[in-house]
Each structure stands twice: as structure tokens, then as C-alpha cells.
Amino acid sequence: VPLLRQSEFVKLNQPGTGRDLLKDLDQSLLDGYGELELEFSTSPLTEAAGSIDFLMHYPHGCVEQTTSGLMPWLAIEPLRPLIPAFAKVSPEKARTVIQTGVDRLLTMQLTDGSFAYWPGSTETCDWAASYAGLGLILAQQNGASVPASSIEKLCNHLIARLRKMTFAKDVWEFDQQARALWVLALAGKPQGAYHNTLSDRLHNLSPSGRAFLALAIAHTQTKADLATARAILRSTKPIRVSDDWWMPYETDAATKLLAWATIDVDAKETSALLDRLLNERNPYGHWHNTWANGWALLAITQYARHDQAGQQPATLTLETADGPQAIRLDPANPTATRSFPLGPDLKLALANDTRAFVRLRLAAKPKIAPLKPVAKGGLSIDRFYETVNPDGTTTTLTEPTVGDLIKITLRVTLPTDGTRYLVVEDPLPAVFEAVNNDFASQRSAIAPATGQQNWSVSHTELRTERAVFFMDYVGARGTYSVSYLARCTLAGEATAPQAKVESMYDPSQVALSASRVFRIGE
């Protein structure tokens, strides 16, 4: 059974009132096997912990996700006094993880300095280049080893792309140009002429694009440039170019907060943007997907460098099954953590004497039980098992034996056209092991019954315990299939958890197959 996680953020705004900390947690997880960790703080920036949890535990690694996954590790030192979990992370651990992220990003950099979306791909992903470059530059500033040639090639690529600015057709493309200007400024290669060009075309830039342009211009820190940057941020010119923003969640509040916290942290806009950003979180305490969380965390990290909130001492009383515990927070010890194993006698209630914040982090394996399929809005996934016979034919799998070769087929139904960045994930039971092969249906999927175009698997990862398939774009609605092989390696009883299909940029779009129990004879 996979380890499942739930996070809840509790604001204690009314001193002297009690709060049952367990009431909003998933009962099936509380009844399982695991641990509940509580993190206490007096700063509202503790609310960034939801984003940190999401990014640190996100399981996939395209060029954007790898870059976004660096953001929590780059935020450790600025947020260490505010995020209790960071107190456990040593500087050596942070450096190791950051370097690992850098090394993975470098595997996706192409010879011309651009970046592919997946390792091993040779196709440039234009919109991701400046973001991946930002990750490399920020990691280098935090002590990571980044080849100078990689930064040089990146800058040359971004400058070459700027020359095509005249041909940009929509907001998304102009925003890419503005983001590139900021990254070039950070790399020590500011492009003043292009700063002026985009300043004259503010009607082509979204609020995020204007924030990136302001950051690029303000990087010199001269009074004139800072004044120009503030004027760009405060501009109310309407957008007059096509808005082809295809991501389901915009990042305007995050990028504007990043700009104001960098340019003028004391401006009235800064605190207002922080409030807006925190209010945009979903019920799980983060900003929906890796892209939005990466920018939000980067903005909060910049704001935290100047934050003086959370300095008021607080005393909390935690009622447990073993009696009350007093928790004292003050400037010398601004955070605290407590951990409790799950069990039938678990009891946690909290009283406070001033405003405080609590982060609940539940990690548990629920009790094994049959799970039915889940379909949402027409999105569905079904899983089929077949035995591969010695002559290459297949028959429906009943009960396998050790040594059997098994074909696993995942059939996905998509309800809409133009699906972007889809992931299909199939956890294997402990008695199966994926076979790394060149099976034909991994290269191209089976055509849907409607006769519409095939989908294309952009990237495949066959791991010991799961198979994962990524589709960057599926043009037409319909039913599609992908297959892979596994070997039955052990005798015994094991559960195949639910297979999952999910939109990586809108995690609310998810469907699950049924689980299945296998009993394997010798």
C-alpha cells in the first residue's frame, strides 16, 4: 500500500479558544499506520509550508518540475526560522539535493543552450528555457557547481530568441521574452535595448510579464531604473494582444509579489499581494501545480528576507492522551514541532493565548481494502492483465505463477480535445517487476475507436515498483491505450494499488482504476 499524505493548515486567530486538530483529517488515514507531525509558528509565512510539502514530494521530473522542485531547497536558509521542517535539514543535505537537481537539469540542456522537456529528448521546449536557466543561476548562487559553458550557452540561446520578439503573437510569448530578460540580467548580461523595446509595448505584457520586465530593469539598482520598474508595476495599460494563456492557474500574484519584494518591499502593494497570494491557495494549502507553486515559493522566499512578522511570543497548550503539553514560541525559538504515532487513543486539541499557526502533516498507509475505480467528468482509466504465451499470443490473466510474463494495458478515456501534460501511473504489486523492453505499444498508442489520431508517449519511466507514461499533448478526445510488460517474480499475496491518470498542470483532473489482489503460487 503506498504511503499517503494529507496536510492541513490551522489559523488560531481567537486567543483562549480550543481547537480539535483531528476533526478535518481523513479518518481512513488516521485509522491506518503512520505518524502525525505538528508544526507551530507565529508567522503567517508558515503558510508556505503547503507549497514546500507539495514540491518536495512531487514524484515526476520534467524540466519545469525539476526546476520547481529546486525552489524549496533554495528557500531553506531564508525560511529556516519560519518553517519548522527546515530545522531538520542540514546545509550539507540541502547542497546535495540542489546539486542533484542541477545535474538533472543539465541532462535536459541541448547543445544550443535551450532545454528539452524530458531527459533524452532532442526537441527544444521554448517556454521552459528561461525557467530552467533561472533554476541553474539560483542554484549556482547557493553554491551548486554549474558549468560556465552551460550558462553561456543558455544566455546565447535566450538572446537569439529575443531577436524574434517582433514575431511574438500572444501574451504567453511576450511573457517568455520578459522572463528571459530578467534571467539574462541575473546572469550578468542585461539587454538594455530590449528593455526599452518591451517598455514601449506594455500593452503586450500580462501582469506577470510586466513584473519580469520590472525585475530585469531594476537589477542595476540605480534610482532611475528602480523608478522605471515601479512605474511598470503600477501601469494600468490594458492588454491589447491575444491572450493564449494555456495553463489552468495564473501566477500574477506570485510574480508581482516577487517583483515588489525585490524592488520596494515597503511599498503598500507588497503586503497586499502577500495577502492575495496566500488567499489563492487551494484547500490543501498550496497553489495547485508545480509551476504555480514554484513561483509562489520564490516570491515568499524573497519577501521573507525582509519579514519581521511573528516576533510576538506565544504560549500554546496542546491536550494529548497523555496530558497537556506547553509549547512556547518566541524570537529565539520561533517554531516548534511535535510528532505522534497514529493509534486508537490519539487525541490532539490546542488552546492559544495569541495568534498562532499550526501545520498538520499526516503520513499513513491505510488498511488494505478493495478500492473501486474513480472517474471524474468523463476522464477514466481501466487496467487489464494478460498472460503472454510462449508463442507471443496473450490470454486473460487469472492467477499467475512465478516466472510468468504479463502484459499490462492501461486504457484511458479523455473527455476533451487538446489535453496537455498528462501522466499515466501504474503502481505494481510487490510480486511483479516491470520489464525494461522496447514493446511496440510503448512507442505509439493504439488508435481510439473513433478513428481519431493516435496519442504519442513523450517520456516513459519503468521503475522497480511502477510504470509511468507522460503525454505532453493529446490533440483529440477519445479512448487510448498504452501497454508494457512485467514479470511475476515472487510467490505470495500482494495488492496492485489503483492506476492513475492525472493532469500535471491541473491535479484536480484525476481518475483511478480499481485495485486488484494477486495470490501467486510457487
pLDDT of residue 1: 66
> In terms of residues, how long is the chain?
522
Task: Give the contacts of 365 (CB within 8 A, at least 6 positions apart).
Answer: 1, 2, 3, 4, 32, 33, 34
Mention every residue, 6+ apart, whose C-beta is less than 8 A from residue 435.
405, 462, 484, 485, 486, 487
CA distance 426 to 513: 9
Q: What is the pLDDT of residue 243?
A: 67
Q: For the chain, state the CA radius of gyration.
A: 25
What pLDDT score does 454 carry?
60
> Is 371 strand, coil or helix?
coil
The confidence score (pLDDT) of residue 449 equals 37
List, for residues 438-456, the tens digit of each pLDDT value: 544 443 343 333 333 467 8
Q: Which residues of the chain have pLDDT under 50?
A: 439-453
What CA–CA distances, in Å, run from 316 to 81, 326, 361?
A: 18, 6, 18
* Number of alpha carbons in the 13 Å side-chain half-sphere of residue 142: 26
Are the C-beta atoms of residues 137 and 130 closer than 8 Å to each other? no
SS3 letters across 354-370 = CCEEEEEEEEEECCCCC
Name, in order, each residue with C-beta under 8 angstroms of 19's C-beta and a sequence gap of 6 or more.
10, 12, 349, 350, 351
DSSP class per residue in 162-230: HTTGGG--BHHHHHHHHHHHHHHHHTT---HHHHHHHHTTGGG--HHHHHHHHHHHHTT--HHHHHHHH
Question: In this predicted structure, what is the pLDDT of residue 239?
Answer: 82
Give per-residue burial for 413-423: e unless 16+ CB within 10 Å, then b: bbeeeebebbb
Q: What is the pLDDT of residues 221-248, one digit of tens each?
A: 899 999 999 999 999 988 877 766 667 7
Per-residue cell: 78:
531564508
Q: What's the confidence (pLDDT) of residue 446?
A: 38
Please calculate the CA angle 113-469-29 and round it to the nearest 5 degrees: 115
> Which residues contact residue 429 at a Cβ distance below 8 angstroms, ignoring those fewer than 6 apart?
494, 495, 496, 516, 518
Q: What is the distance between the terminal CA atoms of the chain, rounded to a whole angstrom? A: 23
Q: Around Cβ 193, how many Cβ atoms within 10 Å? A: 8
Instruction: Please state whether beta strands 466-474 and 419-427 pair in parallel, antiparallel, or not at all (unpaired).
Output: antiparallel
pLDDT value, residue 215: 96
On whether the CB atoms of residues 205 and 171 are closer than 8 A, the answer is yes
Grid coordinates of 146: 554549474
